[in-house]
Every structure is written in C-alpha cells, then in structure tokens.
C-alpha cells in the first residue's frame, strides 16, 4: 500500500486496520461476530486516540479511564485495539512485563483453545480487558460499579491540590444490552446517583442476532434515558470522527449526570453487499465477501492480518503519547501525595495490591454460650461493622433490605452514598438485585472490597452476576439472609430450597453457611483473606444457639470447611451427624441424647463444602472416617449433593418440596426438622 498523505488518511487507515484484523480473525476462526467491530471501529478509535486516559505501557495505572465492552460479542474490536495500541501484558504477580497483552499470534488464534483471545473478553486472561463480558447487560452493570468506585475514591482520598483519583468509565452497549433488565436497573441507579463520570456509547445499529431489531424492539431509548436522568446526545454517522469527538467532549463537560451517546451505525458498514444485512453480525463473512469488503476499504484483498506502515506509530503517537504523559504527571503527583499524606497513600497501596490493613481483624466480637442464641444475620451485622471500621475500603449495601440483612454500617463516620454525596460506605441499591451483583463486581474490579446483600431466595435474581464474579476470580462478597424455610410466614415464594445446591455446583464459588455466631466471625475471616474468587455468606433470620466452646470444639474449624464439633471419648464414633447452619444445633441436641442412651455419635459442622474439599485426604478421613458408614445429614434445603458425604447407607433429612407459609415451629414439625427425627434417623442407619 502507498504511504498515506494526511492525518485523515492515517485515521482511516488505522480504523480499517481494526476492521480487517477483526474480519480476518473471525474468518480464520470460522466463528464470531465481524459486524459490530466493522461498524464500531471509528467510535473506539476516536475514543482511544483522543479521549481515553490510558497508558498502554502501564495498563494497571490506578487512575486510568476504564473501557468496558459490554457488547462482548464484539471482542475482536477490543483485541485489535489492544494489539495496535501496544498494551503490555501483566504477569501473575501483577507486574507489567515487556510482552504484548495481545500479540499478533493471539489475534490469529482467536477463539482457539488456551488463547488469550477467547470468544468473549475475559479479564483474568487478557490484560487490558477490564471485565469479563458476553452475557448482555453485565458490562453495563459493571461500569456503574466502576463509576461508583471512582466517585467514592475521589471523595475519600483526594485532597486540595491532589486530584489523585478521578477516572472516567466508558462502556460500549448494543441493542441487546439495553434490552436486558440488568442494564436497565443499572442505568436507573446511575441516573439517580448522578454519576457524571459514566459514559455509555449505544451502538444503535437496529440489528439483533435474529434479524432487524424492529421485530422485537421499538422503544424510544433516548427518551427512556432522559427519564432515567441521563444526558443524551446523538451522532448520526459512526464514521464521523469530528461529531464523535464533539460527543465525547459533551460527556467531559457534563458534571451533573451520566451521559448516553447514541451512535447510528451499520452492521458490517463498508460492505457493498451486506450493509444492512444482519447476517454479517453473527457469523464470518465468507471468503468472497471478505474480498469485496477489503476492496471497498482499498485494502489488498489477499492480505491477511495486515497492519500497514504507519499504523502502529499512529497509535504510539496518539493514545501511547497522551497516556504516558498523563501517567507520568500522575506518578509525580502521587509521590508528593505520599509525602503529604503517608497514611492515605499506604491505604491506597494496600488496596491496589489486594492486602488488608494491619489490625484488620482486631476487636472482632466473641459470643458467649447461649441456649437461645442469636440469628446469624445479627452476629454477621456486628462482625461486618467491626471489619468495615478496620478496613476503610470495605463498602457495600443491600437491595432495599439493609435493616433485614443487618448490613447497615452504623459506626461513626460510616455514612451513606447518596447523589452528590459520595463519601459514605452504605450504598442503597434499591430493589435491583441483578444490577447490584454486577455493580459490586465492578466495584471489586476497581479494588474495593465490596459486598451486596439480599434474601437468599433472590440470589436467583443475582446469579448471572455471581457466576461472572466466579469466572473472573474476583473477591466480591455476596451476603444472603433468610436462608431457609426458617423465613416462616412469608411462605414458599421467599423460602430458598435449591439455591444452596445450585451455588455449590458453581465452579470457584466459596459458600459459607455458619452454624452459630462464632462460626460467623470465623467465616468472615476466611472471606476477607480469600482473594481469588467470590464468597457467598448464607445466614439465618431466626435465632439459634451459640455453642459452649469450652465443651465443644473451637469455631476456628470453619477455616477447614468442616470439623468435628462434638465427639465420643476416644474418637471412635458409631454414627456421624452432619449439618450446616441452623441445623447443626439439632445434631448437637441429638448427640447429647444419644450419648445418654450409650450410643456413640459424632457431630460434624460443615459450613463450607468447598473449603472441606480443598483439605488433604488425611484431614478428610479424620473428620469423616471411611470406616463409619452410619451417617445422617441435616439441612433445611434440597437434599441434592449430600449423598457424597452420607454415602449409600446414610440418611438425609432435608427438603424434597417447596416450603409453606406458617410460623416457624409449625414448619419445622411439618418438614421433619426435629431432634427426635435426627435421633430416629441415627438409630435407623445403625440398624437399631
């Protein structure tokens, strides 16, 4: 190709390089979506080259702007941009290396096994990917969490003359994102909170995977977002860099609300044959069409994965130069800040590196033995407040149930996060469980230790976000109360049954269902030190006994997932009774009565199957010896999965139906959760 003459030629050449890299990668993989990258290449190019504060040489720079591709099917758009911008890779220790995050060979291995260019972007695999996207609307939700984090950090760490943290968040959304409920919930909250650092770029291409968007979607998106309290602006042609630049400037000058930029684009723009055809969206173009498109771009039609002369330099002199200067200025400023505010700087460095402050676990409550006891949601509230006092960046809230979930942070200075009042630690998510999950993930990706809370039954509304938290290996904290038929009169619509089993089936999700108040404290210790995946904490509404730890084993056994709570002298039981949560006390009561009858029982508290499975064979054998086949498991939830611990000869007392609406004592009787039933089951498995 001949050398381009002008800046405009270089812009177009660079944009067409993004497009053709996407086309070639999709064609070679024989899988993927070329349409969105073709249509959106100018939108992303203009943003990265002129507006995004981002240094490709340091993709972990804390004050970088965040770029989120919520339309994750357009992943090649992001990979091509990361490649051309020269973004560096970060290794497992968090160090920036000399290697490219997305080298050309990885673009050629798009959608192939063990590549760093999977079909939808994954943040734990590919440096420069800020969050894992693909399930539509999730990235939009994450972006709101990132914007909340930026506002909160600015308010708590910036000082006069030291604007250390004030990053903006940009998210690319398509029709699918804006149809999904999670994005609607997130947009509603973002508008309410007046998050002026948030910009969504809506790819208005009027096409979905099935066909024209008008088959299923005819709402006035702009009016809807005005109703949410957003600033809305429009660019009528995705190829018009000047108007795109003006729209980004409108965002940067808007200081009182989030901005939606509606960009009218054509799927597969530039193809003379498929300009308005949705077929280019969800499948490769085919060799013949690829040639026609390349001809239309003035591209050598047989060249594959071509980066023409001048394109790498164009990015180096654009985002590369701007980003390096911005980061250098920030670094110099941060050095001054460290001298002026050493304590704050230390907090930030610990937060960014995933460490906890010294004394993070000081003053944690210890609960005295008490037959009546307290609900684990109550002991959780006390523990959470102590931890949040000790860990300044532990922040979160509830889906309109803070008083029920006991997640209100009430210590001096905790405060609330309100529109234009961004200092507080209590976030009011409103009745928006799904967005709450996605937002907490976005806050966690921004290095806060963020928690969400709602009733356990409504984990179903959060599940897609929780699954992505597990996939991303991020330490988000999901707190759930009202964990069983113990909810009582609210009835089966609010009584979780299958949720425990289904979350236990999720890879990389740590679940803890503590058996008394002191187990709650130990559970929190595990959660705060668990950095490579999310934690789910499952708590009761009803009071349950606090065990006498001078008589029974210490609660520190929680750290191993399951432990022997009560045992026979000599440690050789005839029968093992095991349970999690509120049902542990039933096993302890049964154990005492069996002991009086001369039957040798052992009680195993099992707050976390996942932690127990990580222990070595010797420890597992010491808790559940293979020689003891007589076993009873008790849990007010689906029996599914317990057979792995009870074995073929054991019995499971659990739920095999939905619950019912009635006072707790009647429910326990109806569904068989009584000490007598546990004793009867123990005798049955012993053949007595």
Q: pLDDT tens for residues 387-398?
A: 999 999 999 999
Q: How confident is the model at residue 268 (pLDDT cuts 50, 70, 90)?
A: low
Q: How confident is the model at residue 277 (pLDDT cuts 50, 70, 90)?
A: very low
Q: Judge whether 140 and 230 are in contact, CB under 8 Å.
A: no
Residue among 105, 140, 139, 107 nearest 122 (CA): 139
Q: How confident is the model at residue 207 (pLDDT cuts 50, 70, 90)?
A: confident
Task: Give the gyration radius of the chain's Cα atoms.
Answer: 28
Q: How confident is the model at residue 270 (pLDDT cuts 50, 70, 90)?
A: very low
The answer, yes or no, to whether residue 601 has pLDDT greater than 80, is yes
Give me the mean pLDDT over the 293-301 stretch.
93
Sheet holding 198-204, edge to edge: 66-69, 169-174, 198-204, 259-264, 231-235
Judge whether 422 lies within some domain.
Answer: yes
**Do 520 and 562 have their domain in common?**
no
Residue among 516, 380, 405 nearest 455 (CA): 405
**Do 643 and 523 have their domain in common?**
no
Judge whether 355 lies within some domain.
Answer: no
Q: How confident is the model at residue 7 (pLDDT cuts 50, 70, 90)?
A: confident
**Do 297 and 393 have their domain in common?**
no
Q: Judge whether 150 and 47 are in contact, CB under 8 Å.
A: no
23-32, 52-61, 282-291: which range is least confident on average? 282-291
Give me the mean pLDDT over the 75-96 stretch.
97
Final residue of a structural domain among 497, 524, 544: 544
Give me the mean pLDDT over the 308-331 stretch.
98
**Do 298 and 412 have their domain in common?**
no
Q: Give residue 609's domain range.
A: 556-685
- State the pLDDT at residue 323: 98
Give the tens place of pLDDT for each residue, 326-360.
999 999 999 999 999 999 999 999 999 999 999 99
Judge whether 330 lies within some domain.
Answer: no
SS3 408: coil
- Catalytic residue at 106? no
Burial bucket for residue 543 (CB in 10 Å: 0-12, 13-18, 19+): middle
**Rounded CA separation 582/585 (Å):** 6
**Do 14 and 91 have their domain in common?**
yes
**Do 238 and 290 have their domain in common?**
yes
Angle at 122 between CA 116 and CA 126, to 5 degrees: 40
- State the pLDDT at residue 283: 82
- State the pLDDT at residue 206: 82
**Do 104 and 164 have their domain in common?**
yes
Torsion-angle region of residue 114: left (phi > 0), alpha (psi -120 to 50) or beta?
A: left
Q: Judge whether 86 and 56 are in contact, CB under 8 Å.
A: yes
**Rounded CA separation 681/676 (Å):** 9
- State the pLDDT at residue 682: 98
**Do 512 and 594 have their domain in common?**
no
Judge whether 365 lies within some domain.
Answer: no
**Do 538 and 568 have their domain in common?**
no
Give Cα 71 to chain centroid, integer Å: 17
**Do 567 and 514 have their domain in common?**
no
Q: What CATH code is carried by the domain that includes residue 119?
A: 3.40.50.970
Torsion-angle region of residue 307: left (phi > 0), alpha (psi -120 to 50) or beta?
A: beta
Judge whether 40 lies within some domain.
Answer: yes
Final residue of a structural domain among 544, 566, 584: 544
- State the pLDDT at residue 603: 98
Q: What CATH code is carried by the domain that includes residue 621?
A: 3.40.50.920
Give Cα 118 to chain centroid, integer Å: 19
Percent of the chain with pLDDT over 70: 97
Give me the mean pLDDT over the 639-667 stretch.
97
Per the structure, the count of domains in the chain is 3
- State the pLDDT at residue 3: 52
Judge whether 362 lies within some domain.
Answer: no
**Do 504 and 563 have their domain in common?**
no
Give me the mean pLDDT over the 56-74 stretch.
97
Give me the mean pLDDT over the 459-464 stretch.
98
From 378, 433, 522, 635, active-site residue: 433
Q: How confident is the model at residue 615 (pLDDT cuts 50, 70, 90)?
A: very high
Judge whether 603 lies within some domain.
Answer: yes
Percent of the chain with pLDDT over 90: 93
Give me the mean pLDDT over the 455-470 stretch.
98
Average pLDDT of the chain, as a whole number = 95
**Do 296 and 386 have their domain in common?**
no
Give the tens place of pLDDT for each residue, 516-546.
999 999 999 999 999 999 999 999 999 999 9
Q: How many residues does the chain have?
A: 688
635 phi and psi angles, rounded to 5 deg: -155, 130
The answer, yes or no, to whether residue 273 has pLDDT greater than 70, is no
Residue among 531, 576, 537, 572 nearest 558 (CA): 537
Judge whether 551 lies within some domain.
Answer: no
């Amino acid at each position: 190709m001949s050398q381009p003459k002008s800046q405009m030629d270089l812009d177009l050449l660079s944009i067409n390089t993004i497009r053709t890299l996407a086309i070639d990668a999709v064609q070679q993989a024989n899988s993927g979506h070329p349409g969105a990258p073709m249509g959106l290449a100018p939108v992303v190019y203009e943003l990265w080259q002129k507006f995004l504060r981002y240094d490709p040489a340091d993709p972990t720079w804390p004050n970088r702007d965040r770029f989120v591709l919520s339309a994750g099917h357009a992943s090649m758009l992001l990979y091509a941009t990361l490649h051309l911008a020269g973004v560096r890779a970060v290794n497992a220790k968090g160090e920036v290396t000399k290697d490219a995050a997305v080298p050309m060979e990885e673009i050629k291995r798009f959608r192939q096994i063990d590549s760093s260019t999977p079909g939808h972007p994954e943040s734990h695999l590919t440096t420069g990917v800020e969050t894992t996207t693909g399930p539509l609307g999730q990235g939009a939700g994450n972006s709101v969490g990132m914007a909340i984090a930026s506002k909160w950090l600015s308010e708590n760490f910036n000082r006069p003359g030291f604007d250390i943290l004030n990053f903006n968040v940009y998210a690319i959304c398509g029709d699918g994102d804006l149809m999904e409920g999670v994005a609607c919930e997130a947009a509603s909250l973002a508008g309410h909170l007046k998050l002026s650092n948030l910009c969504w770029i809506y790819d208005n291409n009027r096409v979905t995977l099935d066909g024209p968007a008008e088959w299923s979607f005819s709402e006035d998106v702009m009016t809807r977002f005005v109703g949410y309290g957003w600033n809305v602006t429009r660019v009528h042609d995705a190829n018009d860099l000047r108007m795109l630049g003006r729209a980004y400037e409108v965002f940067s000058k808007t200081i009182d609300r989030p901005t939606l930029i509606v960009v009218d684009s054509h799927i597969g723009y530039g193809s003379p044959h498929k300009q308005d055809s949705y077929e280019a969206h969800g499948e490769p173009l085919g060799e013949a069409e690829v040639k026609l498109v390349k001809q239309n771009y003035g591209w050598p039609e047989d060249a594959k994965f071509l980066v023409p002369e001048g394109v790498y330099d164009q990015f180096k002199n654009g985002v590369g130069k701007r980003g390096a200067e911005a980061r250098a200025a920030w670094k110099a400023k941060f050095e001054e800040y460290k001298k002026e505010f050493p304590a704050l700087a230390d907090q930030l460095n610990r937060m960014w590196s995933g460490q906890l402050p010294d004394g993070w676990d000081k003053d944690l409550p210890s609960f005295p033995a008490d037959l009546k006891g307290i609900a684990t949601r109550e002991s959780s509230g006390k523990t959470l407040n102590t931890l949040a006092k000790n860990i300044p960046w532990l922040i979160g809230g509830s889906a309109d149930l803070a008083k029920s979930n006991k997640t209100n942070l009430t210590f001096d200075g905790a405060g609330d996060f309100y529109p234009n009042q961004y200092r507080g630690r209590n976030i009011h998510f409103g009745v928006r469980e799904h967005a709450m999950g996605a937002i907490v993930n976005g806050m966690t990706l921004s290095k806060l230790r963020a928690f969400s809370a709602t009733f356990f039954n409504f984990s179903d509304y959060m599940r897609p976000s929780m699954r992505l938290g597990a996939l991303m290996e991020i330490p988000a904290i999901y707190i759930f109360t009202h964990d069983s038929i113990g909810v009582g009169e609210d009835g089966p619509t609010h009584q979780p049954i299958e949720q425990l089993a289904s979350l236990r089936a999720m890879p990389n999700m740590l679940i803890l269902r503590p058996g008394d108040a002191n187990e709650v404290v130990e559970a929190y210790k595990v959660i705060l030190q668990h950095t490579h995946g999310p934690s789910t904490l499952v708590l009761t509404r009803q009071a349950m006994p606090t065990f006498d730890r001078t008589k029974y084993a210490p609660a520190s056994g929680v750290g191993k997932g399951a432990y022997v709570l009560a045992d026979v002298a000599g440690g050789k039981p005839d029968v093992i009774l095991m349970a999690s949560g509120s049902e542990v006390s039933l096993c302890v009561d049964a154990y005492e009565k069996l002991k009086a009858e001369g039957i040798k029982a052992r009680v195993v508290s099992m707050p976390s199957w996942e932690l127990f499975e990580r222990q070595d064979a010797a420890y597992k054998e010491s808790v559940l010896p293979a020689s003891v086949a007589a076993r009873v498991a008790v849990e007010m939830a689906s029996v599914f999965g317990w057979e792995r611990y009870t074995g073929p000869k054991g019995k499971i007392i659990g739920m095999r139906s939905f619950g019912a609406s009635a006072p707790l004592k009647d429910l326990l009787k109806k569904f068989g959760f009584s000490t007598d039933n546990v004793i009867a089951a123990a005798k049955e498995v012993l053949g007595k």
